[in-house]
A and B are shown apart, each in its own frame.
Chain A
Amino acid sequence: MADKQQQVVVKRARHKSSVKDPGTPGVLKMTKDRFTFMANDPSSPVKLNVEFRTIKGHKFTKDGTKQALLNLTQDQGGNYIFEFENFPDRNVCKDFVASAIALSGEAGRTVPEKSAVPIQDEQLSAAEMERRIKLLQEDSDLQKLHKQFVIGGILSEAEFWATRKKLLEQNYSRRPKQRVALKNDMWSTKPLADGQIFAEKPAVRQAYLNFVPNKMTEKEFWTKYSRAEYLHSTKNVIAAAAEAAEDEELAVFLKQDDMLVNEARKKIRQVDPTLDMEADEGDDYMHLPIQDHGLPRNDNKDVLDSQYEPYRRSFSQHLNQHAAVVLQGRVIDVELGDTRSVAEALARTKHAELAKDASDVYLDKERLERISRMTEIEDLQAPRDPAVAPLSIKDPRDYFDSQQANAFSTLGDTVSGAKQLKCSVSTREAYCSLKECISEIKFQGLTEPTINSEVAFKVLNGLAQNISSNKYHLGRNPNESILDSLPKITREELLLHWSSIQELLKHFWSSYPITTKYLLTKATKLKDAMSQIYPKLQEIKESVQSDLRHQVSLLVQPMLQALDAAFAHYDADVQNRSARSGERPNGF
Chain B
Amino acid sequence: MSPPVPSKILTDDVSLLMVLIDSNPHFWSSIKPHFSFSKFLSHVLAFLNSILLLNQLNQVVVIATGINSCGYVFDSSSGSVSQRAESLLPKLEEFAENDESLSERDDDSGNGVGSSLLSGSLSMALCYIQRVFRSGPLHPQPRIICLHGSPDGPGQYVAIMNSIFSAQRSMVPIDSCVIGIQHSAFLQQASYITGGVYLKPQQLDGLFQYLATVFATDLHSRNFLQLPKPVGVDFRASCFCHKNTIDMGFICSVCLSIFCKHQKKCSTCGSIFGQAQTRDPSASQQRK
Using CB atoms and an 8 Å cutoff, list the residues of chain A in contact with chain B: 378, 381, 383-384, 386-389, 391, 399, 402-407, 409, 411, 414, 417-431, 433-435, 437-442, 446-447, 450-452, 455-456, 458-460, 462-463, 466-467, 470-471, 474, 478, 505, 509-510, 512-513, 515, 558, 561-562, 565-566, 569
Given A430-B28, A438-B93, A566-B285, are A450 and B43 also a contact pair (CB < 8 Å)? yes
Q: From residue B188, how far is it (CB to closest CB) to chain A in Å?
A: 10
Find chain A residues with CB under 8 A from B168 CB.
389
Extra pairs beyond A411-B245, A438-B96, A450-B42 (13, CB < 8 Å): A389-B168, A389-B171, A423-B112, A428-B100, A431-B96, A433-B29, A451-B205, A459-B210, A459-B213, A478-B229, A509-B283, A561-B288, A562-B287
Q: Which of the residues B27, B180, B228 comes within 8 Å of A470, measured between beta carbons?
A: B228
Cβ contacts under 8 Å, B93 to chain A: 435, 438-439, 442
Q: Which of A409, A423, A446 contacts B26 (CB 8 A)?
A: A423
B171 to chain A, nearest CB (A): 5
**B residues in contact (CB < 8 Å) with A:** 23, 25-32, 36-39, 41-43, 45-46, 86, 89-90, 92-93, 96-97, 99-100, 103, 106-113, 130, 133-134, 136-137, 151, 168-171, 180-183, 185, 192, 201-203, 205-210, 213-214, 226-229, 231-235, 245, 247-248, 276-278, 280, 282-285, 287-288
Whole-angstrom CA separation of A433 from B285 in the bound complex: 46
Complex contact B233–A406 (CB within 8 A): yes
- From B205, B209, B280, B285, A505 is in contact (CB under 8 Å) with B285
Question: Hey, which chain A residues are within 8 Å of B106, CB to CB?
Answer: 427
* Contacting residues, chain B, for A470 (C-beta < 8 A): 228-229, 231
Residues of chain A with a CB closer than 8 A to B203's CB: 455, 458-459, 462
Which residues does chain B contribute within 8 Å of A419, judged by CB atoms?
112
Chain A contacts for B228, CB-based, 8 A: 463, 466-467, 470
Q: Pick the contact of A425 from B45, B109, B171 — CB < 8 Å? A: B109
B66 to chain A, nearest CB (A): 10
How close is B28's CB to chain A, nearest CB, in angstroms?
A: 6
Give every chain A residue within 8 A of B103 (Cβ-Cβ): 427
Bound state CA distance, A30 and B278, in angstroms? 53
Show 20 residue pairs from A and B whose CB-CB distance is below 8 angstroms, ordered by the A residue: A384-B137, A386-B170, A399-B235, A406-B233, A409-B288, A419-B112, A421-B112, A424-B109, A437-B36, A438-B41, A446-B42, A447-B42, A451-B208, A455-B203, A455-B205, A458-B203, A463-B214, A467-B229, A558-B288, A561-B288
Smallest CB separation, B261 vs chain A (Å): 14
Most buried by A among B90, B112, B209, B283: B209
* Given A383-B136, A562-B287, A426-B109 contact (CB < 8 Å): yes
Pick the contact of A509: B42, B89, B100, B284 (CB < 8 A): B284
Q: Is the CB of A463 within 8 A of B210?
A: yes
* A471→B231 CA distance, assembly (Å): 11
- Known contacts A451-B208, A513-B277, A558 near B287 by CB under 8 Å: yes
The 8 Å CB contact of B170, one of A388, A428, A456, is A388
Given contacts A388-B170, A430-B25, A446-B46, contact A421 B288 (CB under 8 A): no
Q: How far is the CB of B169 from chain A (nearest CB, A)?
A: 5
Known: A388-B169, A513-B280. A430 touches B26 (CB 8 A): yes
Cα separation A422 to B208 with both chains bound (whole Å) = 26
A435 to B64, CA, bound (A): 13
Across chains A and B, which 3 residue pairs bring their CB atoms closest together, nearest first?
A405-B232, A430-B25, A386-B133
Residue of B nearest to A512 (CB): B283
B285-A565 in contact (CB<8A) = yes
B224 to chain A, nearest CB (A): 12
> Complex formed: what's the CA distance from A447 to B231 in Å?
34
Interchain CB contact under 8 A, B171 and A467: no
Output the nearest chain A residue to B180 by Cβ-Cβ distance.
A421
Partner of A438, one of B30, B92, B109, B285: B92
CB-CB under 8 A from A429, the residues of chain B are 29
Query: In the complex, A456 Cα to B31 Cα: how many Å?
Result: 22
A427 engages B170 (CB within 8 Å): no
**Is A421 a contact partner of B27 (Cβ separation < 8 A)?**
yes
Expressed in whole angstroms, the Cα–Cα distance for A414 and B236 within the complex equals 11
Given contacts A509-B285, A513-B280, A566-B285, is CB(A441)–CB(B42) below 8 Å? yes
Establish whether residues B209 and A451, one from each chain, have CB atoms under 8 Å apart when the complex forms.
yes
CB-defined contacts of A407 to chain B, threshold 8 Å? 288
The docked-state distance in angstroms from the alpha carbon of A422 to that of B25 is 12
Cα separation A378 to B29 with both chains bound (whole Å): 53
**How distant is the Cα of A429 from the Cα of B36 in the complex, in angstroms?**
15
Complex contact A565–B108 (CB within 8 A): no
A423: chain B residues within 8 A (beta carbon): 26-27, 29-30, 108-113
User: B229 contacts which of A427, A431, A440, A474 (Cβ < 8 Å)?
Assistant: A474
* B113 engages A422 (CB within 8 Å): yes
- What is the distance, in angstroms, from B82's C-beta to the closest C-beta of chain A? 18
CA–CA, A451 and B47, complex, Å: 11
A434 with B28: in contact, given A513-B277, A569-B283 (CB under 8 Å)? yes
Note all chain B residues with C-beta closer than 8 A to A399.
235, 287
> A238–B100 Cα gap in the complex (Å)?
103
CB distance from A349 to the nearest CB of B (A): 45
Given contacts A422-B30, A427-B25, contact A515 B109 (CB under 8 A): no
Task: Give CA–CA (A452, B205) in the complex, Å.
Answer: 8
Q: Which of B99, B137, B276 has the most CB of A within 10 A?
A: B137
Instruction: Enumerate chain A residues within 8 angstroms of B39, measured Cβ to Cβ.
Output: 447
Q: CA of A414 to CA of B136 in the docked complex: distance in angstroms? A: 45
Task: Give the distance in Å from the alpha carbon of A428 to the alpha carbon of B89 in the complex.
Answer: 20
Distance between A374 CB and nearest chain B CB, rounded to angstroms: 14
What's the Cα separation between A450 and B207 when bound, in Å? 10
Inter-chain CA distance A421–B284, complex, in Å, is 34
CB distance from A463 to the nearest CB of B (A): 6
| Closest residue on chain A to residue B233 by CB atoms | A402
CA distance A382 to B245 in the complex (A): 46
Report the minimum CB–CB distance from A354 to chain B (whole Å).
Answer: 40
B85: nearest chain-A partner, CB-CB = A446
Residue of A whose beta carbon sits closest to that of B208: A451
Q: Bound state CA distance, A324 and B130, in angstroms?
A: 51
In angstroms, Cα B188 to Cα A405, docked, is: 13
CA distance A117 to B21 in the complex (A): 63
Taking CB as reference atom, which chain A residue is nearest B105?
A427
Determine the distance from Cα of A512 to Cα of B130 in the docked complex, in whole angstroms: 44
8 Å CB contact of A456 from B209, B227, B229: B209
B171 touches A388 (CB 8 A): yes
List, in ascending order, chain A residues with CB within 8 A of B42's CB: 441, 446-447, 450
Pair A431/B134 contact, Cβ less than 8 Å: no
List residues of chain B with CB within 8 A of the CB of A450. 42-43, 46, 208
Given known pairs A420-B182, A422-B113, A423-B111, the reply for A462 and B202 (CB within 8 Å) is yes
A399 to chain B, nearest CB (A): 6
User: Is the Cβ of A467 less than 8 Å from the Cβ of B108?
Assistant: no
Q: How far is the CA of A450 from the CA of B183 in the complex (A)?
A: 26
Distance A439 CA – B276 CA, assembled complex (angstroms):
62
Q: Roughly how many angstroms separate A369 CA and B134 CA in the complex, as a whole number?
A: 21
Question: In the complex, what distance in Å separates the CA atom of A363 from the CA atom of B52?
Answer: 47
Measured between beta carbons, the chain B residues less than 8 angstroms from A458 are: 203, 206
The residue of chain B having its C-beta at the shortest distance from the C-beta of A425 within the complex is B29
| Bound-state Cα–Cα, A6 to B107, Å | 75
Chain A residues, CB < 8 A from B23? 434
Partner of B107, one of A381, A427, A467, A478: A427
Contacts of B43 in A (CB 8 A): 450-451
CB distance from B86 to the nearest CB of A (A): 8
A419 → chain B closest CB, angstroms: 7
